[in-house]
Amino acid sequence: MKFFVDTANLDQIREAQDLGVLDGVTTNPSLMAKEGITGTDAVMNHYKAICDIVDGDVSAEVISTDFEGMIREGENLAQIDDKIVVKVPMIKEGVKALRWFSDHGIKTNCTLVFSAGQAILAAKAGATYLSPFIGRIDDINWDGMELIAQIANIYAIQGFSTEILAASIRNPLHIVKAAEAGADVCTCPLSSITGLLNHPLTDIGLAKFLEDHQKSQSL
Ligand code: E4P
């Protein structure tokens, strides 16, 4: 399973890259706004800065909701760097745009996916990645992970090549469960990735090893 970091914060992206386990980055308009990135030039420069840090794919979301606007924006975004993946919402115009981008060799990430039906449509339209939003489904008291498993099963049966990108990850356990459920990629806050490190027995064991080593040195 690939690891993407879900942020537009350059320091966090650098930290994830330095860890040596990063395969890409996802952003969305809310994450860009959180970093105070506004205006077309600043947005384009920021995506370029992200692409210069990471080795893998970088999802950049279109703002337009009409087909022509999405194509115009997506073409501009794709020109920033070969790593750019155009992120398109799961709406009717978005499905048309996914097909167009696929036919023109531009990678896509279909976002705001909440059902298996939407997942089938996106795969039929040639999406490179599909982003079901686990955390937001859990937030309304449904089971986000069940959706990942259902889509993984459908894609395997049907032979769809679209990669399942588990999104809206809120904690380390989501990452483990998404891996079990068959996600190809997890996009996570940095805190969820580093949260995978934590186990009290590791801390206790390391403290004991270091203590015993110190003792043996003073014999
Ligand atoms: C990433 O592609 C999604 O936009 C993101 O994971 C959504 O996360 P949220 O539900 O925490 O906003």
The pLDDT tens digits for 138-152 are: 999 999 999 999 999
Chain-centre distance for alpha carbon 41: 24
Compute the distance between CA of residue 73 and CA of residue 63 in angstroms, rounded to an integer: 8
> Where do runs of H (alpha helix) occur along the chain?
10-19, 29-34, 40-53, 67-78, 92-103, 116-124, 134-139, 144-158, 172-181, 190-195, 200-217
Nearest CA to ligand 1 atom 1: 167
pLDDT in the model for residue 146: 98
pLDDT digits (tens, 9 = 90+) for 57-116: 999 999 999 999 999 999 999 999 999 999 999 999 999 999 999 999 999 999 999 999
Question: Residue 165: what residue type?
Answer: L
Adjacent-strand bridge partners of 187: 4
Which atom of ligand 1 lies closest to the CA of 111?
2
Contact by Cβ (8 Å): 13, 54: yes
pLDDT mean over 190-212: 97
Delineate the domains of the chain, giving CATH numbers in brackets. 2-218 (3.20.20.70)
Q: Active-site positions?
A: 87
Is the CB of residue 26 less than 8 Å from the CB of residue 2? no
CA-nearest residue for atom 10, ligand 1, is 168
- CA of 30, closest atom in ligand 1: 12
Identify the residue whose tokens are 């790593």.
83
- The letter for the amino acid at 207 is A
Sign for the CA dihedral angle at 66, 160, 166, 197 comes to negative
Take atom 4 of ligand 1 and give the residue whose Cα is closest.
28
Question: How far away, in angstroms, is 197 Cα from ligand 1 center?
Answer: 22
Q: Which run of H or E residues covers position 110?
A: strand 108-113
Q: Whose CA is nearest to atom 6 of ligand 1?
A: 168
Question: Once rounded to an integer, what is the mean pLDDT over residues 34-41?
Answer: 95
Q: What was the pLDDT predicted at 124? A: 98
Distances (CA, A) of 33 to 67, 89, 136: 24, 18, 19
pLDDT at 200 over 80: yes
**pLDDT tier at 218 (50, 70, 90 boundaries)?**
confident
Pocket (CB within 6 angstroms of ligand 1): 6, 26, 28, 111, 131, 133, 135-136, 167-168, 187
Where residue 219 falls among pLDDT bands split at 50, 70, 90? Answer: confident
The structure's pTM equals: 0.96
